[in-house]
Structure 1
């Protein structure tokens, strides 16, 4: 009896059986994100979500966002640790939706890889599912694509998209902001998922491997640099309920840094000076800057430097907002006040210029002033 011919797709480097096994390994984690609104389970051509809850809205607006994790995946690949990169993806995608005050509904993911290793793919998706659970988001579908010859055997990239909903008259944004509003900073968990090309450049130039012990952090370099992105969605949604009418705009501090992202959610004609002396950037920022021979101020357009989110709130609701977020376990403090009128002169230190609008948004103006605080 002649042997069965080999599947030509397998011979070309695509293992469909490995993809099926990966789906089986991730199924239970994905199902945990499903409420009664999700129909059809895992594995369909399209995810189904019951939108009848939107009938209770007067004028529901859908909010959507898409993003990836960037070159942080290279560190996960280098130390073969893939169970947290999915939370980073959720942070980059879902936490953009809450900026307008929207509640996330569902998310889909996409993983491109050189070779499907079922356990690796399952780890990535379990991380995405964990992030979805922590943000109240249903993971309704996804795709894993094997690209032999285009990506190396151990290479992969991840991306995702999410959809949320907000009542039209509850949308947050620059139009709600008034002079005298207070700007609150919400602490980050570390680097989050931005600026890793600079991180990897510094580490490489210093001759450090990601498996190397880092006494400054009490763990390896790879473990420190893979610290998952903090997720802000549910704490911020609860804040919006606890402090109604007090929250005017929110800003997710991602690519571009603190000043540029805050400027996007301020109205034209207003400005804010963010006081560096109100916080001390975490050791990871200081150690990396020192290794790279950089001033911390020169990295402000690249790293979040300890602030993952910013909230612009009515001055009389600032204390209540801080207390609510502190109760959620998020260190929160005041960094500035919204002003209007002529801009103060630029500082003489070279780091005192204003960022005015960003990413196509003609917004307000922001600059960082003073010197960072130091902790013992």
Structure 2
């Protein structure tokens, strides 16, 4: 740890003091985030998060040592770090880990002359550690989350496009409401049924590809050790020949009854059912989120608005919802939320404008 007497200057510039204080506050806040997340985890994940917290506390000690008597009162961290701490205390979800990953990615230590090379290296490693933890959470929620995001986005875009299409064709407000509600119900039921069939089919495909380990332990005892047919199982799953022989030999040498399960785990790879989710969960998620999204364009008409006012309010509400879903995808994927939000908005606006234009053409043709 750096002590006050070891500072480069006994009278550091005010700008340096302010920067050190900001770094100190941020590190303390970040350590708090990891400790709060650790309270909601157990086993290995808990120990990893506590290790990250200890590393951030070492970094805080570095800035406290530079500041010495100039440290002053304990300050609050940056707004984004305080938000992370709040979310970690309340939820402790994969979204918090995704945000923490982005925070580690933006570490300023590589360009800060007052930070040590070890601190900069720590932050780079922390980014990968948090990425790994977030990946576990992403795998657990990816199936249901995918259905929810697609459902909400499809509901917003398709029903807005449908409503604008019939308005462009000259439909009356009651017809617009009826069309919007019918589109909501039809789309939600279709999305829910489609997700159920899709996920069930994918799980059945995975089951067909999973190793069959029935009576595997008895079979292992009867294998010809010299021929080692077990290596072919690994090779059939894409393992290189030398590695396949090494794994097979290790299993054959083992007297552990769980060797069969070990074979199944090793040859199955990283593709698992958690990534796919359950059919019922995906169907319910898709149905509910599609219905929620599809209801947004209809709300202004249900509350009695019509004409340009209804269109403006519907467009504004759908635009905000598209920005939210895009930003949510960005946060969970570790990408830039603003860019994802604007991309989602642009896609939705393009689809709605196209449908409205087609509605005008059809209305003019049949009018």
TM range, smaller chain: under 0.3
Higher strand share: 1
Higher helix share: 2
Q: TM-score, structure 1 length as denominator?
A: 0.24
Rg bigger for which structure? Answer: 2
Q: TM-score, structure 2 length as denominator?
A: 0.24
